[in-house]
Amino acid sequence: MILKTFGWSFAITAVGLAFAAWQWGWEAFGIVLILSILEISLSFDNAVVNAGILKKMNAFWQKIFLTVGILIAVFGMRLVFPVVIVAISAKVGPIDAVQLALDDPDRYKALVTDAHPGIAAFGGMFLLMIFLDFIFEDRDIKWLGWLERPLAKLGKVDMLSVCVALIALLGTALTFATHAHTSTGTQDKSATVLLAGVAGLITYLVVGGLSAFFENRLEEQEEQEHEAEEKAKAEGKEVSAIGLAGKAAFFLFLYLEVLDASFSFDGVIGAFAITNQIFWMALGLGIGAMYVRSLTVYLVRQGTLDDYVYLEHGAHYAIGALSVILLVTIQHSINEVITGLVGIVLIAASFWSSVRRNKALEAAGGDEDRKDPDEDKTAVSV
């Protein structure tokens, strides 16, 4: 089962890492490996959401999502999107950005360094909004209850996450951005950081709005199908499962693609906190995207989506940490390995807390719906 589901992912990982080591050396090997793990970690909740929706689709549309969808995910968001970000930030054409990366790496590095304050502000705000919307939401399951309970109460205030993000942006513009690191030394990039940060915030709100739109359309389709099914049963007619699946399939597919694109933003933007090499970035994120697809299939086939309940928390804490790191790197340099390890450590801690919680629940009788009295204690002790 494991080999059948993850076989292609294992093969692409081996080829990708070997190519990175052969083409660029062991530093590239390490960065690509960290990026792959980071993408898998940040996109685990993406796989869970995908699996929950994908299981409602018929076999044909599942295949479409796992074939056409992977092309969009890997080549669109993980390869083209980083190039577009660099091109816009450095004010060069996409083809010129790729050509510079190939022919004149020193010039390319200087352009990326000069564009980094804008990239960091845009990405930092986008990631910060993801984290804030998560941490301010009241959830049944809490990992760090001592922190999440009071923040969930504060989250009842409308637009609090936007206000906090804007305050963080203003603080960044008045501190780190006044002495931003560039290829020619430190410069005042306050205006650039403010503009890029607002753009990142707007992008998050637009992507979230599109996701909500497709989710609402999906719910409407499901309600219509349920009413049609009840009516057919009352009249003694048979319900065509294929027709119902096909009726909602297009909106399901669009919704999944928008969701996947929105989840891809955090991986791509977070990758800029680790490296500015777009080829290393595309390779690492592409490998990670393959595992996300394989994990989605695995979760659908196994039928278990909630075994490790704290992983989503760990992924969002990693996103929050990356957002802070991105904003700090506007002025200060932070080693890429340290940046990558922060996310990995948080994910590992949440995974271990989930394992301990499952063992505690199993010992208490296996009722996962029951409130675990030691839940917060277990999580904090990791």
**What is the mean pLDDT, run by run of 10 residues, along the chain of 382 residues?**
75 88 88 82 64 69 74 72 72 79 74 80 86 87 86 86 93 90 83 91 82 71 73 68 51 68 64 75 82 76 66 82 86 74 81 86 65 46 40
Residue 173: its pLDDT value, please? 92
Which residues make Cβ contacts (< 8 Å) with residue 151, sequence separation at least 6? 135, 136
Separation in Å, CA 284 to CA 14, 65, 74: 12, 21, 10
pTM of the prediction?
Answer: 0.72
**CA-derived radius of gyration, the chain:** 22
Q: What's the token pair of residue 53?
A: 């929706």
pLDDT confidence of residue 359 = 87
pLDDT at res. 195 = 93
- Give the DSSP letter of residue 293: H
Closest CA to 261 of 51, 84, 69, 88: 69
| Torsions phi, psi for 180 (to 5 deg) | -65, 145
- Which whole-number Å values give the CA distances from 117 to 90, 124, 205, 285, 365, in the listed order? 11, 10, 21, 22, 53
Of the candidates 123, 378, 71, 58, which has an alpha carbon nearest to the alpha carbon of residue 271?
Answer: 123
Chain length of the chain: 382
Report residue 40 as tokens: 């898998």
pLDDT for the residue 377: 47
* Residues spanned by the domain of 173: 2-380
Strand (E) positions, the chain?
Answer: 180-182, 185-187
Number of domains within the chain: 1
Write b or e for each residue in 262-297: b if 16 or more Cβ atoms lie within 10 A of its Cβ, otherwise e.
Answer: bbbbbbbbbbbbbbbbbbbbbbbbbbbbbbbbbbbb
pLDDT at 333: 79
Cα-to-chain-centroid distance, residue 123: 12
DSSP assignment letter at 371: -
Give the integer Cα–Cα distance in Å for 63 and 102. Answer: 36
Give the pLDDT confidence score for residue 295 in this predicted structure: 77
Residue matched to tokens 């929706």: 53
Q: Which residue from 249, 293, 321, 280 is spatially nearest to 16, judged by alpha carbons?
A: 280
Report d(CA 36, CA 28) in Å as an integer.
Answer: 12
Q: How many C-beta neighbours within 10 Å does residue 217 have?
A: 16
Q: Could you identify the residue written with the tokens 């990026």?
A: 35
Nearest in space to 263 (alpha carbons), one of 73, 61, 101: 73
∠ CA 359-131-347, nearest 5°, is 35
Query: pLDDT at position 370, please?
Result: 46
d(CA 269, CA 42): 11
Give the SS3 label for residue 365. coil
